[in-house]
Amino acid sequence: MVLGSFNAFDPFGGGPRPASLRTKLLVATPQLLDPSFARRVVLVLDHGNHGAVGIVLDRPGGLAVDRLFPAWHELATPPAELFTGGPVGRSGVIGLVRLRIPSGTPGDGVPPGWNVVVPGEHPCGTVDLSEDPLPYREAILGARLFSGYSGWSSGQLEEEIADGSWYVVDAEERDPLSADPEGLWRRVLRRQGGALSIVSALPPDPSAN
């Protein structure tokens, strides 16, 4: 199968193109070779006319969470490492938590700064890492911390999608805190079915297949 044939795929899988990509997953296509994003999955946290912000979900960074955020270590979903969220702002850390509370609304035992990103029975969203999480531990199913983020200026992400760098798919509530982050790229593509399930089986170097 020729790699170039994948460029003809609709990055939105034939579905409507939403006005905002917030909550969507960006899945790198085989032609995206940038080492920061090749065979990676990005969760879009914000998107609009101003540009877009997201975090790479599947790049463990090796540094144990308790080295920098000991209060969050016990709640961290294995591997309990500081993940690399992207090449921008590496000195900053973004936290995602998954809640037991279906509504995920403030006042229901939700941690301070909670902002839902992926809705569901057990929603996932960003949280204020400066707050002590222990009073909210019964509401938290898991947490993951990301160093840095991925950013796009106005229109840049749309250009990359049009150029064939990204597939755009729906996120599922388990994706951001996957216990097998290194396998996330294949799993997300495989569950789309059709042509994208074929893409999921490509080796890292498609020319070797």
Q: Report the chain's terminal Cα–Cα distance, integer Å.
A: 8
- Mean pLDDT by runs of 10 across the 209 residues of the chain is 48 80 95 95 96 97 93 95 95 94 65 90 93 90 96 96 94 95 96 91 70
CA–CA gap between residue 102 and residue 55 (Å, rounded)? 23
> What is the count of structural domains for the chain?
1
pLDDT at 207: 58
pLDDT at 141: 94
Q: What is the b/e burial string over 13-30, where b = at least 16 CB atoms within 10 angstroms of the residue's CB? A: eeeeeeeebbbbbbbbbb
d(CA 26, CA 14): 15
What was the pLDDT predicted at 17?
Answer: 82
Position of tokens 């955020």?
Answer: 69
Under 8 Å CB-to-CB from 187, ≥6 apart: which residues? Answer: 178, 180, 200
Residue the block writes with tokens 């296509």: 29
* pLDDT score recorded for residue 106: 55
Could you check whether the bond before residue 79 is cis, i.e. omega within 30 degrees of 0? yes
For residue 92, count other CB atoms closer than 10 A to its CB: 12
The parent domain of residue 141 ranges over: 3-208
CATH of the domain at 109: 3.40.1740.10
Opening angle at CA 118, ends 142 and 53, nearest 5: 100
pLDDT at 191: 94
pTM: 0.90
pLDDT value of residue 3: 41
- pLDDT confidence of residue 203: 84
Question: Which residues, in sequence order, are bridge partners of residue 29?
Answer: none
* Alpha carbon distance 43, 142 (integer Å): 17
